[in-house]
Amino acid sequence: MKNEKAVVIFSGGQDSTTCLFWAIEKFGKENVMAVSFSYGQRHFAELEAATNICGKNGIRHLVLPIDIYSQLEAVPFLNEVQCSLLNNDLEIKQEANSDFPNSFVPYRNLLFLINAAIAAKFFGAENIVIGVSQIDYSGYPDCREEFIRETQNLFKTAMGDDENVVIHTPLIHLTKAETWKMASDLDVLDLVYRETVTCYNGIKGEGCGECPACRIRRQGYLSFLESQK
């Protein structure tokens, strides 16, 4: 396994950072490349965190643009999608009479995986790592195991039966508390706690403490601490 290469979809948040160091342990740092995406997100603090984490730890890192969301947001008559992660003027909340939180970005993980698969071809990698979880998935359907399985099938359909890329989801069945435990086992608990950006308001470390992402993260951390007693 140490001779195989892997591309890690890396946002600079808790989950993807834990997955990055999981991949480094599994494949070796020299065989891992982190790929982040600039897609018109609410803030750039997470990209800064991703760049800093990779820079401090000597990890190969690419930041690739995905411009479609920014372009569509700029067109006045294309207003059916109201996404708080793309629009700073919208409050982040679970909309009434909606299946999704208004922080849901349509097809984002699919775009990430397709672009990561392209980058993997150029890197000579047959492994893609993404930090999705269907336990603490915040109502996002593209964090479920079914989605990952169908995307894996899509890659094989698009590239033929000889396509060997594998999508790894180390967190898919883990709670946030268990994700903290994984970071601890990988000896990066302090790094994940202090240097990542999970907060929807772009505040590093403990975050704002009020947005949905911060509440899930904090609750998971406290549960992890309780489990260590």
Residue 173 has pLDDT above 50, yes or no: yes
Q: Is residue 63 part of a domain?
A: yes
More confident residue, 139 or 180: 180
Q: Is residue 197 part of a domain?
A: no
Q: Is residue 15 part of a domain?
A: yes
Residue 8 has pLDDT above 90, yes or no: yes
Residue 134 has pLDDT above 50, yes or no: yes
Number of domains, the chain: 1
Whole-number pLDDT of residue 96: 43
More confident residue, 68 or 17: 17
What's the CA gap between 48 and 54, in Å, rounded? 10
Q: Is residue 100 part of a domain?
A: yes
**CA separation, residue 33 to residues 29, 41, 76, 98, 110 (Å):** 8, 22, 38, 37, 19
| Site of tokens 């302090």 | 190
Give the chain's largest Cα–Cα span: 55
Average pLDDT of 174-193?
A: 97
**CA separation, residue 218 to residues 83, 123, 208 (Å):** 24, 36, 11
pTM of the predicted model as reported, rounded to 2 decimal places? 0.89
What's the CA gap between 6 and 129, in Å, rounded? 7
Q: Is residue 226 part of a domain?
A: no
CB 179 within 8 A of CB 229: no
Q: Is residue 26 part of a domain?
A: yes
Q: Tell me which residue range forms the domain holding 171.
A: 6-175
More confident residue, 164 or 26: 26
> Which of 15-29, 95-109, 155-169, 189-203 has the least mean pLDDT?
95-109
Q: Quick one: 187 exposed, middle or buried, by C-beta within 10 A (0-12, 13-18, 19+)?
A: exposed
Q: How confident is the model at residue 136 (pLDDT cuts 50, 70, 90)?
A: low
Average pLDDT, the chain: 87
At 128, which helix (H) or strand (E)? strand 127-129
What's the CA gap between 200 and 212, in Å, rounded? 8
Whole-number pLDDT of residue 29: 97
CATH of the domain at 63: 3.40.50.620
CB 10 within 8 A of CB 21: no
Q: Is residue 227 part of a domain?
A: no
Those residues with Cβ within 8 angstroms of residue 30's Cβ, 6 or more apart along the chain or in another chain: none
Q: Is residue 47 part of a domain?
A: yes
Q: Which of 92-101, 135-144, 183-192 has the highest mean pLDDT?
A: 183-192
Q: How confident is the model at residue 2 (pLDDT cuts 50, 70, 90)?
A: very low
